[in-house]
Amino acid sequence: MTWPPLRAELQGVEPYGAPQLDVPVCLNVNENPYPPSAKVVADIATAVAEAASSLNRYPDREFTELREGLAAYLNTAGAGVDQGGGITADQVWAANGSNEVMLQLLQAFGGPGRTAVSFAPTYSMYPEYARNAMTGWVAGRRHEDFTFDLDHARDLIAEHRPSVVLLPSPNNPTGTALPHDVIGTLCELVAGIDGVVVIDEAYAEFRREGTPSALALLPEHRNLVVSRTMSKAFALAGARLGYLAAAPEICDALRVVRLPYHLSAVTQATASAALRHADELLGKVALLRAERDRTVDWLRAQGHEVADSDANFCLFGRFSDRHAVWQGLLDHGVLIRETGPDGWLRVSIGTAEEMAAFRDALTEVTR
């Protein structure tokens, strides 16, 4: 007997987590480097103080005001729906970070005897969500350049008949986005086996001009789920608010598995206040896009391979010993992420000053 008596598949497993180190330049977890302004902070503080006056009562279990605010935001061009969208509050669900959104989806539509599928390289937490929801996990592959291999996907879906397909777009860790025809085809393939397709758009606001959002496909596919977060573009990683848009029936299903009153009054107040300042909070997105494009161009000019990125990070390589490069950067006070396929590293996009420090350090390390 081992103690504590963990489930067999959890024994010996290390908990997920990127390094949290005190370094001058932290570019490893795709955070927005620009904090909320004093005006936004003051409005959030006022909203939280108001919520605190009734903390003896449970919060609104249906988080109605927040769902209405999120729906209104998703119907703006900045969110990715250029023609009004028509997304309503009953199509929106929220939880404590998109991590909890994904876990709830797998609890509702996965489970024993069912399978979830993604295509590597993909977000490293997906198999952990599946494991925690006791759902089988199958990882297919992408093309060598990280674009999506639709023929391979057809074969894998036919073989494993997944109840859930999980795909980030832009993809983490590569930054590549999925075209609409791929998403539509996947929805049609999975609809035939009563499955759902989850497009994880955590980095959607950073898309390059002309890269579409899956939100526009919601009216065409009742089995499509589009997940978002306020952690990245909204600069609210510490608030822990993720959300999705889908058919009302999917949102209703998630009510079955959610914990009672899962969104605190403080979380709801914080997110609703932030939405009132969406234009300001998203105001740095254009700067980060431009800095990303400059970083991609510079890395390629230095002879590195770089994946096309629609996110606020870049995957670059290839290194015979990527850990040595990662450590060398850390020794220069720059923390990036050792993730993705072997030989590749990922750098989040920071301020102009932080990216200059990254360039200087990488030049020294790879000299």
211 plus 340 within the same structural domain: no
Residues 158, 98 within the same domain: yes
Let me know whether 85 and 225 are in one domain.
yes
Nearest Cα neighbor of 139 from 155, 117, 123, 158 is 117
The pTM of the full predicted model, rounded to 2 decimals, is: 0.96
Other C-beta atoms closer than 10 Å to the C-beta of 97 total: 20
pLDDT for the residue 131:
97
174-229: pLDDT as tens digits: 999 999 999 999 999 999 999 999 999 999 999 999 999 999 999 999 999 999 99
**252: CB partners within 8 A, 6+ apart:** none
Q: What is the pLDDT of residue 1?
A: 63
Question: Is residue 2 one of the residues assigned to a domain?
Answer: no
User: CA–CA separation, 21 vs 335, rounded Å?
Assistant: 8
Q: Three-state SS for 278?
A: helix
46 and 120 in a single domain? The answer is yes
SS3 155: helix
- Cross-strand pairs, 141: 120
Residues shown for the chain: 367
Same domain, 92 and 207: yes
Do 230 and 109 share a structural domain? yes
CATH number, domain at 196? Answer: 3.40.640.10
128: Cβ contacts below 8 Å, ≥ 6 apart: 16
- Give the DSSP letter of residue 208: P
Whether residues 159 and 254 fall in one domain: yes
Task: Specify whether 103 is located in the same domain as 165.
Answer: yes
Paired tokens of 75: 């119907």
**Residue 266 lies inside a defined structural domain of this protein:** yes
SS3 string, 58-127, reads CCCCCCHHHHHHHHHHHCCHHHCCCCCCCCCHHHEEEECHHHHHHHHHHHHHCCCCCEEEEEECCCCCHH
| End-of-domain residue from the set 239, 257, 276 | 276
Return the pLDDT at 84.
Answer: 52
Q: Determine the Cα–Cα distance for residues 235 and 239; give it in Å rounded to an integer.
A: 9
Same domain assignment for residues 254 and 308: no
Nearest-angstrom CA–CA distance, 341 and 169: 18
Last residue of a domain, one of 227, 242, 276: 276
Residue 239 in tokens: 């608030």
Residues of the chain with pLDDT under 50: 83
Task: Indicate whether 255 and 142 sit together in one domain.
Answer: yes
Residue 74 near residue 92, CB atoms below 8 Å: yes
Determine contact, residues 280/40, Cβ cutoff 8 Å.
yes
The angle formed by the CA atoms of residues 175, 177 and 179, to the nearest 5 degrees, is 170
Q: Of the candidates 258, 276, 294, which is a domain's last residue?
A: 276
112 and 65 housed in the same domain? yes
The count of domains in the chain is 2
In 3D, which of 358, 204, 355, 366 has the Cα closest to residue 290? 355
Q: Report how far apart, in Å, the C-alpha atoms of 165 and of each of 69, 196, 298 are.
A: 28, 6, 35
Residue 132's CB is within 10 A of a number of other CB atoms, namely 16
- Whole-angstrom Cα distance, residue 350 to residue 130? 32
Torsion region of 321: left, alpha or beta (phi above 0 gives left; psi -120 to 50 gives alpha): beta
- Separation of alpha carbons 97 and 301, rounded Å: 37
Spatial distance between the Cα atoms of 296 and 359, rounded to a whole number of angstroms: 11
Task: Write the CA distances from 238 to 162, 264, 282, integer angstroms.
Answer: 33, 14, 16
Q: Cα separation of 155 and 160, whole Å? A: 9
| Domain coverage including residue 306 | 18-36+283-365
d(CA 193, CA 115): 12
pLDDT recorded at residue 81: 63
CATH of the domain at 308: 3.90.1150.10
Flag whether 189 is in a domain.
yes
Return the DSSP state at 337: B
Nearest residue to 44 via CA among 284, 268, 269, 279:
269
Has residue 7 been placed in a domain? Answer: no
Q: Are residues 335 and 233 in the same domain?
A: no
